[in-house]
């Protein structure tokens, strides 16, 4: 396979692969690890437009990039055209990003219950106003805006085709589809047929496919099955930042893949922790608490015992982490299939949590408009 570069507005992404925005994961540390293995577009954790406009310290941390990070990509979550415009204006005026993605895929009940995230495209005029607002502000600096969404709320309320059409008509530079509905949450399998349908429907800008890519072979399979212009990878790279190297190899016709032995995995995990210390402004305690969630992903399939895993998820300092990792047998080879396949969030379908009467109409009522503002407060995660 020889994949063409991805053209997103004025940005040329040599390898058409995107690191999916993941709250709590895709910070500067993790993005650096991933991009060291291969080309692509590496998106930040989502930041809520309102919190950004109010300059909450955590929001300001989220939109930071390393000096050598090009292009600088930020994902915004918003439920309101006014805050969207303000947030994009701030990014433009302060020159804080080269690409802005808008999140319309979040399935978390506390968000969708108030009409945000994956509930929002159903209110198609509000959705369009948010996207148009972002594009108008970003255009002033020639910054491309993209959207990322799910298929819809459930099989009876699919929104992706209409939402993509509206978004393209108001000027987005690419559309990404996670092949699940809100109801599917992270269960079952992503529906790649819908990605193929979207690709047929949208001819003006790149269409990116997302959902259940666990290997470079899956990335190629998605491209072949859907005709998408590129892929978006989330959970598949948790504990496996080298997956971006595999995908670059696959997309340039090389059969070479990373098959790390335990020593390499331990080194990458340690480096991840060190980078997190930088990400969190030298706060070692915070960084080490954060690395704990990555441990089981890094060691998936490797013969690392329960006691060791427990000890690793209780480390408090880099020195402790080093000491524990040094006790591993570095020569243990790549375990093959056991290290591959699904990882990270899964679970069962979830009944959609929506505002009362939300599905009765695609027009938004004043009451819903008031309620939706609550969807912007105190959230994180997609």
Q: Is residue 60 marked as binding?
A: no
The contact mask relative to ligand FMN for 76-105 (x = CB under 6 A, - = no) is ---------------------------x-x
Joined tokens for residue 51: 């919190």
Among 25, 53, 295, 328, binds ligand FMN (CB under 6 A): 25
Determine, following the binding rule CB under 6 A, whether residue 20 of this chain makes contact with ligand FMN.
yes
Which are the catalytic amino acids? 106
Bond prior to 186 in cis (omega within 30° of 0): no
Beta-bridged to residue 19, according to DSSP, are: 42, 233
Burial of residue 287 (CB within 10 Å: 0-12, 13-18, 19+) is: buried
Tokens 């930020």 sit on residue: 74
Q: Is residue 75 marked as binding?
A: yes
Question: What Cα–Cα distance (Å) separates residue 281 from each residue in 56, 58, 285?
Answer: 15, 11, 11
Q: How far apart are CA 250 and CA 207, in angstroms?
A: 19
Determine, following the binding rule CB under 6 A, whether residue 239 of this chain makes contact with ligand FMN.
no
The contact mask relative to ligand FMN for 154-193 (x = CB under 6 A, - = no) is ------------------------x---------------
Determine, following the binding rule CB under 6 A, whether residue 47 of this chain makes contact with ligand FMN.
no
- DSSP-assigned states of every residue in 38-64: --SEEEEEEEEHHHHHTT-HHHHHHT-
- Secondary structure (3-state) at 347: coil
CB 120, min distance to ligand FMN, A: 12
Q: Is residue 333 marked as binding?
A: no
CB nearer to ligand FMN: give 32 or 294.
294
CB 43, min distance to ligand FMN, A: 8
Beta-bridged to residue 6, according to DSSP, are: 13
Q: Is residue 306 marked as binding?
A: no
Q: How far apart are CA 115 and CA 348, in angstroms?
A: 21
CB nearer to ligand FMN: give 344 or 352.
344
Nearest to 149 by CA among 210, 231, 88: 210
Nearest to 79 by CA among 361, 357, 355, 360: 355
Determine, following the binding rule CB under 6 A, whether residue 236 of this chain makes contact with ligand FMN.
yes
Question: What Cα–Cα distance (Å) separates residue 235 from each residue in 172, 280, 318?
Answer: 25, 22, 25
The contact mask relative to ligand FMN for 281-320 (x = CB under 6 A, - = no) is ----------------------------------------
Q: Is residue 227 marked as binding?
A: no
Residue nearest to ligand FMN (CB): 382
Binding site for ligand FMN (CB under 6 A): 20-25, 45-46, 75, 103, 105, 148, 178, 210-213, 233-236, 344-345, 381-382
What are the binding residues for FMN?
A: 21-23, 75, 148, 178, 234-235
């Amino acid at each position: 396979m020889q994949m063409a570069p991805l053209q997103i507005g004025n940005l040329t992404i040599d390898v058409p692969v995107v690191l999916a925005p993941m709250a709590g994961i895709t910070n500067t540390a993790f993005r650096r690890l991933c991009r060291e293995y291969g080309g692509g577009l590496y998106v930040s954790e989502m930041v809520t437009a309102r919190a950004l406009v109010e300059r909450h310290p955590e929001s300001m941390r989220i939109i930071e990039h390393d000096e050598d990070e090009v292009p600088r990509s930020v994902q915004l979550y918003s439920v309101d055209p006014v805050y969207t415009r303000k947030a994009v204006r701030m990014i433009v005026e302060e020159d804080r990003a080269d690409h802005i993605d808008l999140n319309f895929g979040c399935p978390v009940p506390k968000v969708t219950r108030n009409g945000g995230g994956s509930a929002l495209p159903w209110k198609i005029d509000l959705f369009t106003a948010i996207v148009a607002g972002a594009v108008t502000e970003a255009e002033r600096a020639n910054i491309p805006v993209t959207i990322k969404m799910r298929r819809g709320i459930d099989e009876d309320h699919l929104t992706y085709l209409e939402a993509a059409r509206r978004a393209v008509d108001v000027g987005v530079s690419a559309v990404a589809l996670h092949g699940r509905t809100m109801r599917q949450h992270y269960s079952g399998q992503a529906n790649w047929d819908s990605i193929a349908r979207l690709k047929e429907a949208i001819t003006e800008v790149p269409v990116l496919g997302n959902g259940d890519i666990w290997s470079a072979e899956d990335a190629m399979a998605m491209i072949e099955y859907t005709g998408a212009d590129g892929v978006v990878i989330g959970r598949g790279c948790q504990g496996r930042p080298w997956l971006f190297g595999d995908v670059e190899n696959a997309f340039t016709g090389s059969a070479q893949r990373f098959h790390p032995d335990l020593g390499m995995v331990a080194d990458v995990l340690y480096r991840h922790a060190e980078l997190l210390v930088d990400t969190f402004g030298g706060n070692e305690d915070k960084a080490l608490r954060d690395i704990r969630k990555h441990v089981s992903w890094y060691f998936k399939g490797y013969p690392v015992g329960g006691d060791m895993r427990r000890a690793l998820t209780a480390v408090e300092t880099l020195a402790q982490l080093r000491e524990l990792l040094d006790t591993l047998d570095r020569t243990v080879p790549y375990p093959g299939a056991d290290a591959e396949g699904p990882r990270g969030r899964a679970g069962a379908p979830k009944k959609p949590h929506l505002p009362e009467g939300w599905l009765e109409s695609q027009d938004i009522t004043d009451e819903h408009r008031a309620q939706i503002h609550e969807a912007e407060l105190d959230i994180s995660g997609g």
